[in-house]
Amino acid sequence: MPSQLILYHGNRLENLAEVLAEVLRQPLRSPFDRELIVVQSKGMERWISLQLATRWGICGNCEFPFPTAILQRLHGAVLGDLPERSLFDPDLLLWRILQALPEFLEASDFAPLKRYLADTEPGTLRRIQLAERIARTFDHYLVYRQDLLQRWRDQPESASESEPARWQARLWRHLTAAASDLDPVSITRRFFEQLSATGPKERTERERLPERLSVFGISYLPPLYLEVLSAVSRLVPVHLFVLNPCREYWFDIVSEARRDRRLEPLFSEPAADPDDLHLDSGHPLLASLGSQGRYFLGRAHELAAQTVELFEDPRRDTLLGRLQNAILQLEPEPAANPGPPTEDPAAPSIQVHCCHSPMREVEVLHDRLLDLFARDPSLKPADVLVMTPDIETYAPYIQAVFDAPAEDTARIPYSLSDRSARRETPEVEVLLTLLELAESRFSAPHVLDFLARPMVRTAFGIGAAELDTIVAWVRESGIRWGMDETHRQHMELPPTRENSWRAGLDSLLLGYALAPRGPELVAGISPAAGVSAGDGPLLGNLAWFVETLYRHLRSLAQPAAPAVWAKRLLELVDQFMSPDESDPIALDRLRAVVTELNDWQQVSGFSGELEGPALRWLLERRFDRGGAGFGFLGGGVTVCAMLPMRSIPFR
């Protein structure tokens, strides 16, 4: 059947959204079917939802899967016999590689890995980091180099492979042997074979596939994903909405640096291809920074059965507008001298500020925003986007400046987006801090900082006003670090009891028992001053907290299987996170992530143990993939990370 892939491209995302709304206005056959709109981020999902709701009055029964999720769904719809979770999911692949490494390290092909892992035991941090790197590499191969993986499987004894490729090929064959015909390379091959075959199955496949598929605002898709969409478009309509900064054909332009590299051999090789001399740079900014989008757009143009252009000329009275227009027209330089921009010199469209520190950068940003709001009453905080290359570094400065403006200035509402779940979610921070404490010296400042968290102190019946009393007790009793002499000996330090938590608690309890009498030695213990007869409940809660914390930390110091770790971590959640001070949704998400440890072990067949530092690193990476998308388009100034290909319009 002919392709039904339609490419809509333009330089304004609002225009693309307008056409998307018109496309979706045609109802599906069943009112219970969900409209599928593929996006690349939660921010884009929220923006499209708002755009559709503005035009329709409501946005409902729409689903916004990411590209990987829709690829798996299309594979399942066509083949129909795929497991719910692939053994080659990067998370599962890590555990399968970790299980297979001990078996292969003695082989000669794996000598580089054996040298790297010398003097390390199974379950250590270095081993799990290596397994994660290999799993990530294989995942990239599955997206971009399936031909290489197919060759490794079909030609197991190829002598032309380099040393790194030989051990990778051997490990890949081992991983695919357990998957029968369900490895992603075989699934992709069967998928295309099934769609290219004609016959009675075609109607069944069309019924299992979504009735219509829209892909919106994705500025780059790997070639494999485009081929899948093209193949599916022979059965169902596929609408591809892409932001394109240039209306001209710019898919063969090269940057000046790349042009120079390609021309250099021509001066030393007379037999070089003369066609290489025809190299066009177009606009230098587009040629140097638009290479990834150029390849994607060029391939999309080749596969599309129909192309719809939605370009709009930008204003030319501002410096930014002239730059956008030059890129739109693919003009390296203006055709004629247009004269200076007519924009306000006090508020130019492009500004560069050189500042001596991140704090000063944010202060200048705050002042410039106040000035822009004063000059243009129609400009709202929700119209402003602030992007930073390192959101975690700049977030504290943003909070310090925007939360505490000068007395004579208005407060600018804002929201932080793209932060890791650890920074967005206090519950995650508490769990990871517990794992860090298990590797620490149990020092007084660290323990008191942990206790000061509202959900922790509330779990042990300690009020905020009582923290100062506890800090004074710790200082008075001389507590510095270590639980007791046994704990210090375990850390390969002298087994002394002085200035430990156990010695300090004994001193505090003795001071309470002897109050209000003066200090005197009892069994070699000096009673602490400052503890009155009415401090019994608070002192008891402090002792309960310290003993409970140390008991759990001792178990966290022992290696265990992932399922055992999941049980331990769930106990920590129940013990140290008070429901009164915790977000129920965040707790549910946290428990779901912890439970994944048990699921990974069961599905992957991993039978080893993990040490605490390895598990903490694994969880940190899991949480640092990004938060739940909170803060984006939150109604105020949006502060987010400078992610590649991010394209959501702001003024």
Q: Single out the residue in 533, 556, 579 at which a domain terminates.
A: 556
Would you state the pLDDT for residue 199?
Answer: 56
Per the CB < 8 A criterion, the answer to whether 516 and 535 are in contact is: no
- Cα 25 to Cα 36: distance, rounded to the nearest angstrom: 13
Q: Is the peptide bond before 516 cis (omega within 30 degrees of 0)?
A: yes
Does any domain span residue 483? yes
Token pair for 511:
């001071």
Does any domain span residue 321? no
- Cα 629 to Cα 412: distance, rounded to the nearest angstrom: 21
Residue 459 is part of which domain span? 440-556
Q: Single out the residue in 125, 149, 181 at which a domain terminates.
A: 181
- Cα 486 to Cα 492: distance, rounded to the nearest angstrom: 10
- pLDDT above 90: residue 613: yes
Token pair for 412:
């600018």
Does any domain span residue 614? no
- Cα 607 to Cα 564: distance, rounded to the nearest angstrom: 12
Count of domains observed in the chain? 4
Burial category of 589 from C-beta neighbours within 10 Å (exposed 0-12, middle 13-18, buried 19 and up): middle
In this structure, are 233 and 284 located in the same domain? yes
Q: What is the pTM of this model?
A: 0.86
Instruction: Write b or e for each residue in 195-216: b if 16 or more Cβ atoms lie within 10 A of its Cβ, otherwise e.
Output: beeeeeeeeebeeebbebbbbb
Q: Which amino acid is at 335?
A: A
Burial category of 261 from C-beta neighbours within 10 Å (exposed 0-12, middle 13-18, buried 19 and up): exposed
Look up the CATH number of the domain holding residue 476.
1.10.486.10
In this structure, are 245 and 378 located in the same domain? no
Poorest-confidence range of 214-223, 526-535, 542-551?
A: 526-535
In this structure, are 175 and 219 located in the same domain? no
pLDDT tens-digit readout, 406-445: 776 788 999 888 888 778 889 999 999 999 999 889 999 9
Residues 6+ apart with CB under 8 A from 373: 379, 381, 412
Per the CB < 8 A criterion, the answer to whether 78 and 205 are in contact is: yes
- Cα 560 to Cα 565: distance, rounded to the nearest angstrom: 6
In this structure, are 96 and 67 located in the same domain? no
Does any domain span residue 53? yes
Would you state the pLDDT for residue 477?
Answer: 87
pLDDT tens-digit readout, 476-528: 888 899 888 888 888 888 888 888 898 888 888 888 887 666 557 667 777 77
pLDDT tens-digit readout, 290-345: 777 888 999 999 999 999 999 999 888 888 888 888 889 888 776 566 677 777 77
Does any domain span residue 116? yes
In this structure, are 63 and 122 located in the same domain? no
Q: Single out the residue in 128, 163, 181 at which a domain terminates.
A: 181
Token pair for 470:
């506890």
Q: How confident is the model at residue 626 (pLDDT cuts 50, 70, 90)?
A: low
- Cα 93 to Cα 600: distance, rounded to the nearest angstrom: 9
Q: Which residues pair with 522 in a beta bridge?
A: 525
Would you state the pLDDT for residue 559?
Answer: 93
Tell me which DSSP letter residue 349 carries: S
- pLDDT above 70: residue 198: no
Token pair for 392:
């975690």
In this structure, are 195 and 171 located in the same domain? no
Mean pLDDT of 243-266: 75
The chain-wide mean pLDDT, for the chain, equals: 86
In this structure, are 219 and 164 located in the same domain? no
In this structure, are 198 and 73 located in the same domain? yes
Burial category of 246 from C-beta neighbours within 10 Å (exposed 0-12, middle 13-18, buried 19 and up): buried
Mean pLDDT of 240-267: 77
Does any domain span residue 336? no
Mean pLDDT of 556-581: 93
Look up the CATH number of the domain holding residue 145.
1.10.10.160
In this structure, are 496 and 550 located in the same domain? yes
In this structure, are 177 and 193 located in the same domain? no
Does any domain span residue 97? yes
Look up the CATH number of the domain holding residue 62.
3.40.50.10930
- pLDDT above 90: residue 194: no
In this structure, are 453 and 543 located in the same domain? yes
In this structure, are 305 and 194 located in the same domain? yes
pLDDT tens-digit readout, 351-407: 999 999 999 999 999 999 999 999 989 999 989 999 999 888 999 999 999 988 777
Poorest-confidence range of 256-270, 342-356, 454-468, 477-491?
A: 256-270
Percent of all residues in the chain with a pLDDT value above 90, rounded to a whole number: 44
Does any domain span residue 112? yes
Helix, strand, coil share of the chain (percent; to 5): 55, 5, 40
